[in-house]
Structure 1
Amino acid sequence: MPRVGLSPDLLTSAAAELADDVGFPQVTLSALARRFGVQTASLYAHVADLDALRARVAVRALAELADRLAEALAGRSGRDALAALAQAQREYAVEHPGRWQATRHPLDAAAARASAGPRLADLNRAVLRGYDLPESEQVHAVRLLGATIHGYLDLQQSGSFDHSTPDADTSWERAVDALDTLLRHWPTREKDRA
């Protein structure tokens, strides 16, 4: 019998908060049960298992991030849109470090399609409309944006930039400048030019 007051949405919210407090990899059913003062077994009436709970947190984080990016990108184009895209992700990663980690949790194909992941890809492609990239190159550019932004933020979250100069903010701006330059001068292969 389900415990009164618990629900999948309540558990997802609590797991997202727990992820921000202790890190997404440390989100466990037993840690969540402790937060509610219940036995771990009582959670199984609401979530199938730990992976299902983590997937719910990932789906929520992706939706939150997509909403942030859509708001940040409204009315912007070119470098301004690129900087807004990057900064909105950086702010989300700082404010919600565990949820940021959750955005890379592997989802099964159906959950991935139903998540805000495709919307995030569309938002990235919207930024690319401000650059003269052939459609055939856009997937590569979206992947580059994701790898650069996620990689930088993951390194910053882990403290990799804490003991060096210049500060991480300066390098962040240089990274955005470099991405802008690359997107304006996107390389094409010789065979694609023919």
Structure 2
Amino acid sequence: MARAGLTTERLVKAGAELADEVGFDQVTVSALARRFGVKVASLYSHVKSSHDLKTGIALLALGELADRAAEALAGRAGKDALAAFANAYRDYAREHPGRYDAARFRLDPETAAASAGVRHAQMTRAILRGYDLTEPEQTHAVRLLGSVCHGYVSLEAAGGFSHSAPDSQESWAWVVDSLDALLRGRPLS
């Protein structure tokens, strides 16, 4: 019987909110039980462990991020698609730092294959169809885009760009322009 209206979905959503407030690494079943004012044992019929809870949060975050990226990409191609995709990730990370970290949580292969992570890869490859890349360059480019976006977002979230000029938005635009130039095979300026 559900206590306090608890469901797996409600707990995962509350866990995601908690991750945004205190950091994904601080999310535990105990912390969630305190949030709901219930005993830890009350949650175990809905989540098996903190790892199970974190997996649920990761899946939620991957789905939200994929939905946001898909919406941003609709009707766009080339550099516009690249910028929309990159901005969707950066904006999500800024608005939901704990969830963004959760999206990087290591999932077991079966769970990962059934997650929205597959949609992310498909969208990245769709963007890259606007560039003249063959394999293995396309796979390299998928990894490059993920690395650059995640690296920039992580450094920015840690305050790495807050004390110097130009501002981080100007640098971000330069990074996206540079990625586009690189992918088009143009020399960087």
Alignment TM-score, normalising by the size of structure 2: 0.95
| Residue 140 of structure 1: aligned partner | 140
Q: CA deviation at 1:136?
A: 2.8
Aligned amino acid, residue 129 of structure 2: R
1:141-178: CA deviations, max 9, x gaps?
Answer: 10100000001001101111111111111110111011
- Distance, in Å, in 2 between the alignment partners of 1:18 and 1:166 is 33
| Residue 31 of structure 1: aligned partner | 31
- Distance, in Å, in 2 between the alignment partners of 1:145 and 1:167 is 21
1:82-136: CA deviations, max 9, x gaps?
Answer: 0000011111111111101111000001110110001100000111011000133
- Distance, in Å, in 2 between the alignment partners of 1:77 and 1:183 is 13
Unaligned runs of 5+ in 2: none
- Distance, in Å, in 2 between the alignment partners of 1:156 and 1:41 is 39
Are 2:115 and 1:115 aligned?
yes
- Distance, in Å, in 1 between the alignment partners of 2:126 and 2:86 is 13
| Residue 11 of structure 1: aligned partner | 11
Give the ranges of 4+ consecutive aligned residues of structure 1 lying more than 4 Å apart after TM superposition: none
Q: CA deviation at 1:4?
A: 4.7
- Distance, in Å, in 2 between the alignment partners of 1:149 and 1:138 is 16
Root mean square deviation, CA, Å: 1.2
Q: What is the count of residue pairs matched by the alignment? A: 186
Structure-to-structure mapping, 1:47-126, within 5 angstroms:
47-126=47-126
- Distance, in Å, in 2 between the alignment partners of 1:70 and 1:128 is 14
- Distance, in Å, in 2 between the alignment partners of 1:172 and 1:4 is 45
Task: State the percentage of identical aligned residues.
Answer: 60
- Distance, in Å, in 2 between the alignment partners of 1:138 and 1:57 is 30
| Residue 169 of structure 1: aligned partner | 169
Aligned amino acid, residue 80 of structure 2: D
- Distance, in Å, in 1 between the alignment partners of 2:175 and 2:40 is 44
Q: CA deviation at 1:42?
A: 1.5
Q: CA deviation at 1:81?
A: 0.5
1:52-81: CA deviations, max 9, x gaps?
Answer: 100100001000010111110111111110
- Distance, in Å, in 2 between the alignment partners of 1:103 and 1:53 is 13
Alignment TM-score, normalising by the size of structure 1: 0.93
Q: CA deviation at 1:2?
A: 4.7
| Residue 22 of structure 1: aligned partner | 22
SS for the counterpart of 2:159 is: coil
| Residue 182 of structure 1: aligned partner | 182
Unaligned runs of 5+ in 1: 187-194
